[in-house]
Amino acid sequence: MINKIHINSTINYLVVAYAFILPLSRAGIVAFTALLFILWIIEGKFRDKFRQIFKCKFTLSLIIFLIFSTLSLLWAQEQNLKEGINYIRKYWYLLILFPIFTSLKHEYIPKILYAFLAGMSVSVIISWGIYFDWWQVKEVTAGSLSPFMYHVFYSIFLAFSSLLALNFALNSKDKRVIFLHIFLAILFTGILFLGIGRTGQVILVVGIFLLLINNFKHKIRAISIALILSTILIGTFYTFNDTFKQRINFIKSDIVQTLVEENYCNSLGGRAFTWVITYEIVKEHPIIGIGLGDHLEYLRDTMDSDERFSTCHLKNMIVYFHGQYIEIVAQIGLLGLISFLAIFYFLMSISIKNNIINNIKIILIMTFLLVFFVDVPFRKQFSLALFALMSGIIIRQKIQEDKSNKIGKHNA
């Protein structure tokens, strides 16, 4: 019994450490995920753990999606089997979810959230140092400011962290706490708009609207404040930051080339072309797709053979479907997409009384549903780890609230 208690305490401390290291180290994510899962197995109590896992519609839908994705290897071609297995293997970063919501003590949730913000603060301090040329980190430039991960996903982390800090500020009455979190939000937002972070910038703007609407009783006032903040934010960076202004101008140019001139040889066009390819797959294999591995071979072959893209200089840079929705449809069809969207439907349907955690739920779902249009965060290490950590916290909060409700009814 004593050993079990020590193991549980170790798991709780390690989850806090995992939250801190998450934005900073790929190796750290791997090590902590493996260690926590091993300790979770050693801890035992599998009857209670499996009961919680299969009782939760969110985790059940996640397991069904993973099983369906794995089964798609059966209808993929043999030469693509290795590529398909490598794709499935990346889902192992989701394992951290299970120790969090079955073994984590509720009182550790605030520690985990603050540890994550602390880790992001370290990352952002390094980014500010790169921007002001105080130091250099590998080949990171003032154009991306992303010291530990690909700039698209760093922008996602920055937007999520900024919204998380604002979430704490909106739900506090302590002026010092409010000031600290607003200061952190400004630090995160500054790097987000100084670097190459179009995806994160959109997430932040949408997230500000959702946070204010969800926290203010007067919705019209909330929308008005959000519009003013967003206008000031975007206007300031467009006026004073050349990188941000250039990215906006590139977007305008890409939209004209892609939609008006039907020229796919640009950043937006290359992404749009993967949607065109997915449409062709859906016409031939609408229900269960063409299988993991085969979808990437189909992508390469089509880019090589289609005259609209075969001579584009971007062809070798498009190595996957630029959109989670379309990649899943290509892999496992419309049936697979439904099973995938069920994960987020059941996560959204979880009723949380705690306003901070409820806001995190909304921010998390909004973040991923938006990113799914332009990239594939469910095949990337950092984003999978972030989703597993935060969704685990949400479910753990729900379990605690249900437990408190039962105790309250019993005492009544």
pLDDT at residue 1 in the model: 47
Distance CA 132, CA 242 (A): 15
State the Cα–Cα distance between residues 87 and 162, nearest whole angstrom. Answer: 31
Per-residue pLDDT at 410: 59
How far is Cα 15 from Cα 19, in angstroms, rounded to an integer? Answer: 6
User: CA-to-CA distance for 127 and 391, rounded, in angstroms?
Assistant: 27
8 Å CB contact between 390 and 115: no
What is the pLDDT at residue 185? 94
Cβ burial of 405 (10 Å; 0-12, 13-18, 19+) is exposed
Q: Which residue has the tokens 């299988």?
A: 291
Q: Decide if 163 contacts 211 (C-beta within 8 A).
A: yes
Rounded distance between C-alpha atoms, residue 352 and residue 361, angstroms: 9
394-397: long-range contacts, CB 8 A cutoff, minimum separation 24: 394/347, 394/350, 394/352, 394/357, 394/360, 394/361, 394/364, 395/56, 395/58, 395/59, 395/100, 395/101, 395/350, 396/100, 396/101, 396/104, 396/106, 396/109, 397/106, 397/109, 397/352, 397/354, 397/357
| Token reading at 128 | 């500010």
All residues at 6 or more sequence positions from 103 whose CB lies less than 8 Å from its CB, including other chains: 8, 11, 12, 40, 43, 49
**What is residue 319's predicted lDDT score, i.e. its pLDDT?**
79
Burial of 409 (0-12, 13-18, 19+ CB in 10 A): exposed
| The pLDDT of residue 143 | 66
Asked if residue 302 lies in contact with residue 278, where contact means CB atoms within 8 angstroms, the answer is: no
d(CA 270, CA 276) in angstroms, rounded, equals: 10
What pLDDT is recorded for position 142? 65
**Rounded to the nearest 5 degrees, what angle is found at the Cα of 267, between the Cα atoms of 266 and 272?**
90
What is the amino acid identity at position 92?
A: W
Predicted TM-score (pTM) of the model is 0.91
Per-residue pLDDT of the chain (412 residues; tens, 9 = 90+): 457 778 989 999 999 999 999 999 999 999 999 999 999 999 888 899 899 999 999 999 999 999 999 999 988 888 888 888 988 999 999 999 999 989 999 999 999 999 999 999 999 999 999 888 888 877 777 667 888 888 889 999 999 999 999 999 999 989 999 999 999 999 999 999 887 678 888 899 999 988 888 887 776 777 787 788 778 877 776 776 666 667 677 677 777 777 766 777 877 777 888 888 899 999 999 999 998 888 888 888 888 887 777 778 777 778 788 899 999 999 999 999 999 999 999 999 999 999 999 999 999 999 999 999 989 999 899 999 999 999 999 999 999 998 887 776 655 5
Cα–Cα dist 190/128, whole Å: 9
